[in-house]
């Protein structure tokens, strides 16, 4: 495959730039060690052709991920971490406004505490990594690495919470967790170590807990829709899919049209009083009576970034929404024949400065040992939202050429007032990326009312919306019946935004009266 | 001991407030579980009397630390994390200005890679924690948890760096590391897991590496002196004390007068080409010739916070410098007899709002179930730099009373223009805390030129500055000779700021010609 680079071959007349994209051009400096060729030029797989390989190529060639020598662990490179930090810079102040405080609990947890909540440990036990040795001596008892921190934190909630004035207790930590999974490690989406924030809160009343669950879920929706430009569905998980040990789980669910798989984007759980019971988190209420707290926990992880890559990426590489891209505008000089290169370069630098002064994250790539064509491909691979090219003719006309990464459209912009124009374009790209993604996602939604329709839609990689009786046994049955090489279908969520359910509607699977509309599909 | 609460007993006339400090008053809500009494009132140890116990009490009662069920691991509570984040908000933008990028490498490292640099692994091997099991199955090979990330990262430096244009490569990560130490775990100062930033950089020339080492060290000095108000000495470590596997180590060294111990505050290492050799980090230079990179690594950790507590804390608890305190001003209402409490409370809220509008981190404690005296003690324990009290008389006079935490001084401030006044006071407290700490530290410095003087000064808990021959065997010898219950003396650093060394000066320990002045002492 050609990596899709043809599309942006320059078609401008005037002969000012003739460079074609150089596919997989040899880098100017040769490796003394004979390693893989430099990144940035062409993918060998297409998104439609072989999605898995394409994804792996995009995240590595786009310099987001480096595969690590320990399977299931990945190196998050600066191009990734800039996105992570931007999301953090939105989310962290938002929860601080809600009076949620930052804390940090240890990485390690003892077996005794880990075992305390039965459903919880059943859910996590197979994936727990155990430290049994330090230096050359065995530990007296093995110590677990946190797969999540409920059991790490709640003994201390019990200690700290005594009266109603100690409530609410609202904590959040930014940390790494470890889940030693064996199935299909995938960068960002399923890795043995990942970064996340985990919020853990305790309230005097269920009402307050319920309210927070939805407030946090709304922040997760905003992260996906406003920052990552990925449409999500807010909803409630089924009993089978809810958090181990919790009362109910809400989530934002994304969908990858190419694979027809849903992906749980982030979760906001109400734990009810289950952990409170196990960990004795009691308080004296205003009447002086002993009561038990209501708890929530909620998290989003680096998985968010993988979902974004899967949704937006194309055959030329990453496509990053402007809001989260480390570099929003890349400025490239286009030398031509006898034109004064220095002058063009100066114009590029001046342009970058003007844009940066307006708060736009702009950079120039003025390397002389790479051709413009090579650079176009390189920065397209890295997904930079907007490219600005400046050549002699542009200079003469007091203009620049701007090329959008998301749709390849090109436009000449007058240098005067460039900053405002670029700002507008970036906003437009952000919105347009969301709209396009939503259109694609919506086109995949298929309403099915019978088992046959369901199976057909599943085969067509649809995001299935079906009336369901909401019975756990029925979901288990559907899973069993659809179990195949590519994984069983399961519920993704019951959307909060429920279509009308006419009386007498039957469950597509059991034929019993349907209680709600639920999204079904295969998932990550 | 009384926890030193007498000093701030109110001496104001007018009878407007009579509350004495209530020592260890029972909290208003009683524990249903019979746990330890509520924090915040009185220490049972003094800083001079039993420093170790005092420290432990201060960090727990001040709500910075909670002891964790796994020895050597500690819970960092919001009061701590706010300080950590403030420091991060200074340091991270500074290194980003230097074009150092954020990355995240895995927590795990294979034995093969860990072993690659001999001196390095010798330094860390005894403290490495090993994961040998996941779920209920043994791993094929045990996997180490990073004690530091040189060996985690450098194989990829080797992969990414090929030509001189790939240099410099400058990365930093914020993460946790694990060192399973067995000697004296101490919150912040020596813990089995801790948070830090670790910078790892590679350059084409030694000159560039040398320059960065000092630039980073200067940022560390600023963190200590400008943020934590702790005076430090910049200098170079001895061969014996330098980073395992590095070329040379620079550090900022703090000193704890009460224990007479030095404490390594943060380190900036030049690794030279040693790791480059082991990990084959080569590049083609501008002439097309193969060359090896020069590397640095540098880190500061949560230890910084422990040093700050040790230096500034007093018998009433924490004393926090305004710049890093989560709450800079605590406003407390002082009701009296028939005075209109509501009106006083409103004045408190208005004061908080006025201060916050100016960017001051102010909060009111308007809880009615605690007396003013109890609150004074509570917020003194937590180290809040400035307390503002408002009673009926203050209200009538359009003034507030301000009480400094660092020196207990009290002053009435007119409400008009309060914000600017408070700003000035906070700046003054910050500067004054540094000055006082520096004076105390300087008073401990003892120049010794002979072995006898050295031993005497060591017994007097001095920070010893002595002429030294700079020979490793001599340092080993000094360590051996001073080894006692409280630990051996060793070099802390040779200060960059060297006093004159007259020709013919002899080493205090070996009698050989001295090459430099070096700080010696016991250390953490």
Average pLDDT, stretch B29-41? 40
Maximum C-alpha span of chain A: 88
- Kindly state whether residue B34 falls inside one of the protein's structural domains: no
**How far does the CA of residue B521 sit from the closest CA of chain A (Å)?**
29
Answer whether residue B143 is part of any domain.
yes
Are B207 and B253 part of one and the same domain? yes
Picking from A77, A130, A282, the nearest residue to B103 by CB comes out as A77
Do B236 and B366 lie in a common domain? no
Helices (H), B6-117: 51-61, 78-97, 111-114
| Shared-domain flag, residues B238 and B95 | yes
**pLDDT on residue A39:** 39
Q: How high is the pLDDT of residue B484? A: 83
Taking alpha carbons only, the member of A383, A368, A361 closest to residue A309 is A383
A110 CB within 8 Å of a chain B CB: yes
User: pLDDT value at position A339?
Assistant: 81
pLDDT at position A3: 33
Decide: A446 and A457 in contact? Cβ < 8 Å.
yes
Domain shared by A167 and A193, yes or no = yes
Does B19 fall in a domain?
no
B181-207: average pLDDT: 95
- For A:391-410, CB contacts with B below 8 A are none
User: Is the predicted pLDDT of residue B7 greater than 70, yes or no?
Assistant: no
Closest CA to A405 of A3, A6, A8, A1: A8
Residue among A27, A109, A114, A133 with most chain B CBs within 10 A, to mutate: A133
Question: Which pLDDT score is estimated for A175?
Answer: 98
CB A468 within 8 A of CB A426: no
Q: Is A81 on the interface with B (CB under 8 A)?
A: yes
Whether the per-residue pLDDT at B144 is higher than 70: the answer is yes
Least CB-CB distance to B105: which of A75, A103, A283? A75
The answer to whether A122 faces chain B, any CB pair under 8 Å, is: no
C-alpha to C-alpha distance for B440 and B445, rounded to whole angstroms: 9
Residue A435 is assigned to a structural domain of this protein = no
Residue B87 lies in a domain: yes
Q: Is B32 within a domain?
A: no
Cα(B300)–Cα(B266) distance, integer angstroms? 5
Q: Residue B120: which pLDDT band, with cuts at 50, 70 and 90? A: confident
Q: How far is residue A92's CA from residue A163's CA, in Å, rounded to a whole number?
A: 28
Task: Give pLDDT, residue B99.
Answer: 98
Q: Does B165 touch chain A (CB under 8 A)?
A: yes
Count how many domains chain B has. 3
Q: Mean of the pLDDT values across residues B61-68? A: 98
End-of-domain residue from the set A381, A397, A427: A427
A75, A106, A127 member nearest B193 (Cβ): A106
Residues A327, A330, A336: CA angle, nearest 5 degrees: 165
**Residue predicted with more confidence, B32 or B442:** B442
Is A37 a member of any domain?
Answer: no
Summarize pLDDT for B349-361 with one digit per residue, the tens: 999 999 999 999 9
Q: Are residues A366 and A453 in the same domain?
A: no
Whether residue A75 and residue B162 make contact (CB cut-off 8 A), yes or no, is no
pLDDT of A430: 98
Closest CA to B518 of B501, B503, B504: B501
Q: Are residues B304 and B365 in the same domain?
A: no
Report pLDDT for A37: 41
Structure confidence at residue B274 (pLDDT): 95
- Say if residue A339 is in the same domain as residue A302: no
Bridge partner list, B468: B516
Residues of A in contact with B155 (CB under 8 A): 69
Q: What is the pLDDT along chain A (524 residues), one digit of tens a residue?
A: 333 333 333 334 333 444 334 333 333 333 333 333 443 478 999 999 999 999 999 999 999 999 999 999 999 999 999 999 999 999 999 999 999 999 999 999 999 999 887 888 888 889 999 999 999 999 999 999 999 999 999 999 999 999 999 999 999 999 999 999 877 899 999 999 999 999 999 999 999 999 999 999 999 999 999 999 999 999 999 999 999 899 999 999 999 999 999 999 999 999 999 999 999 999 999 999 999 999 999 999 999 999 999 999 999 999 999 999 999 999 999 998 888 999 999 999 999 999 999 999 999 999 998 999 999 999 999 999 999 999 999 999 999 999 999 999 999 999 999 999 999 999 999 999 999 999 999 999 999 999 999 999 999 999 999 999 999 999 999 999 999 878 899 999 999 999 999 999 999 999 999 999 999 999 99
- Say if residue A297 is in the same domain as residue A352: no
Give residue A328's pLDDT: 98
Q: How far is CA A277 from the centre of its chain?
A: 34
Instruction: Check whether residue B423 and residue B455 sit in a common domain.
Output: no
- A77, A130, A164 member nearest B132 (Cβ): A130
CATH number for B116: 3.30.930.10
Q: How far is A412 from chain B (nearest CA, A)?
A: 32
- How many Å apart are CA B482 and CA B364, to the nearest integer? 52
CATH number at residue B505: 3.30.110.30
Quick one: pLDDT at residue B20? 39
Asked if A66 is an interface residue toward chain B (Cβ–Cβ < 8 A), one would say yes
Which pLDDT score, from 0 to 100, does residue A13 have?
37
Question: From A110, which residue of chain B is nearest by alpha-carbon distance?
Answer: B70
> Which of B91, B64, B94, B40 lies closest to B325 in space, CA to CA?
B64
Is B1 within the bounds of a domain? no
Selecting from B27, B108, B133 the residue whose C-beta is nearest the C-beta of A130 gives: B133
Interface of A with B in 266-285 (CB under 8 A): 280, 282-284
Asked if B183 reaches chain A (Cβ–Cβ under 8 Å), the answer is no
Cβ–Cβ of B127/A135 closer than 8 Å?
yes
- d(CA B439, nearest CA chain A) in Å: 34
Residue where a domain terminates, one of B246, B279, B312: B312
In degrees and rounded to multiples of 5, residue A27 shows phi and psi of -65, 150
Three-state DSSP string of B231-280: CCEEEECCCCCCCCCCCEEEEEEEEECCCCEEEEEEEEEEEECHHHHHHC
Provide the pLDDT for residue B317.
98
Of A267, A282, A312, the domain-final residue: A312
Give the domain extent around B467: 445-521
Residues 282-301 of B with CB under 8 A from A: 282-284, 290
Query: Taking CA atoms, what residue in B is nearest to A64?
Result: B103
- Residue of chain B minimizing CA distance to A181: B134
Partner-chain contact A104 B195, CB within 8 Å: yes
Interface check B181 vs A, CB under 8 A: no
CA distance B307 to chain A (A): 19
List of residues 6+ apart from B327 with CB closer than 8 A: B361, B362, B363, B379, B382, B384
For residues A238 and A372, state if they share a domain.
no
Q: Where residue B122 falls among pLDDT bands split at 50, 70, 90?
A: confident
Question: Cα dihedral sign for A113, A117, A123, A125?
Answer: positive
Do residues B129 and B158 make contact, with C-beta atoms less than 8 angstroms apart?
Answer: no
| Residue B467 pLDDT level (bands cut at 50, 70, 90) | very high
Helix (H) or strand (E) holding B517: strand B516-523
Q: Which CATH number covers residue A386?
A: 3.40.50.800
Residues in B closer than 8 angstroms to A84, CB to CB, are: 104
Residues A365, A296 share a domain: no
Same domain, B106 and B214: yes
Across the interface, whether the CB atoms of A133 and B130 are under 8 A apart is answered yes
């Amino acid at each position: 495959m050609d990596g899709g680079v043809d599309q942006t071959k320059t078609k401008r007349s005037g002969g000012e730039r003739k460079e074609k994209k150089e596919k997989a051009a040899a880098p100017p400096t040769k490796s003394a060690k004979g390693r893989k060729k430099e990144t940035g030029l062409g993918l060998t797989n297409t998104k439609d052709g072989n999605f898995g390989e394409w994804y792996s190529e995009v995240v590595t060639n786009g310099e987001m991920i480096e595969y690590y020598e320990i399977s299931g662990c990945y190196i998050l490179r600066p191009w990734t971490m800039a996105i992570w930090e931007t999301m953090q810079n939105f989310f962290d102040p938002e929860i601080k406004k809600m009076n949620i405080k930052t804390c940090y609990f240890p990485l390690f947890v003892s077996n005794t505490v880990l075992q305390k909540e039965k459903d919880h440990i059943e859910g996590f036990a197979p994936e727990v990594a155990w430290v049994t040795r330090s230096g050359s001596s065995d530990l007296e008892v093995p110590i677990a690495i946190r797969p999540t921190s409920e059991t790490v934190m709640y003994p201390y909630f019990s200690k700290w919470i005594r009266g109603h004035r100690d409530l609410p207790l609202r904590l959040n930590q930014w940390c790494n967790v470890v889940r030693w999974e064996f199935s299909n490690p995938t960068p960002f989406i399923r890795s043995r170590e990942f970064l996340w924030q985990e919020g853990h809160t305790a309230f005097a009343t269920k009402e307050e807990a319920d309210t927070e669950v939805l407030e946090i879920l709304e922040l997760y929706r905003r992260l996906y829709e406003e920052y990552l430009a990925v449409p999500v569905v807010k909803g409630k998980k089924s009993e089978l899919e809810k958090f181990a040990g919790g009362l109910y789980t809400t989530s934002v669910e994304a969908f990858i049209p190419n694979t027809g798989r849903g992906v749980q984007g982030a979760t906001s759980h109400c734990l009810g009083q289950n952990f409170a019971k196990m960990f004795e988190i009691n308080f004296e209420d205003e009447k002086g009576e002993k009561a038990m707290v209501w708890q929530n926990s909620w998290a989003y992880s680096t998985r968010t970034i993988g979902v974004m890559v899967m949704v937006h990426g194309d055959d030329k590489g990453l496509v990053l929404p402007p809001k989260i891209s480390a570099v929003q505008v890349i400025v490239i000089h286009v030398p031509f024949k006898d034109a004064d290169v220095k002058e063009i370069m100066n114009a590029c630098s001046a342009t970058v400065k003007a844009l940066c002064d307006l708060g736009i994250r702009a950079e120039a790539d003025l390397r002389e040992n790479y051709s413009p064509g090579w650079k176009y491909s390189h920065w397209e691979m890295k997904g930079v939202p907007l490219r600005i090219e400046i050549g002699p003719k542009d200079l003469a006309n007091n203009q620049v050429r701007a090329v959008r990464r998301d749709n390849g459209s090109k436009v000449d912009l007058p240098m005067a007032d460039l900053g405002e124009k670029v700002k507008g374009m970036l906003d437009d790209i952000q919105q347009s990326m969301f709209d396009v993604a939503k259109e694609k996602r919506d086109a995949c939604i298929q309403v099915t009312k019978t088992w046959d329709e369901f199976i057909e839609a599943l085969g067509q990689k649809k995001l299935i919306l079906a009336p369901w009786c909401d019975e756990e046994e029925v979901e288990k049955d559907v899973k069993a019946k659809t179990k195949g090489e590519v994984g069983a279908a399961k519920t993704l969520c019951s959307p909060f935004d429920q279509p009308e359910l006419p009386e007498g509607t039957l469950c597509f699977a059991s034929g019993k009266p349907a209680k709600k509309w639920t999204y079904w599909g295969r998932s990550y």
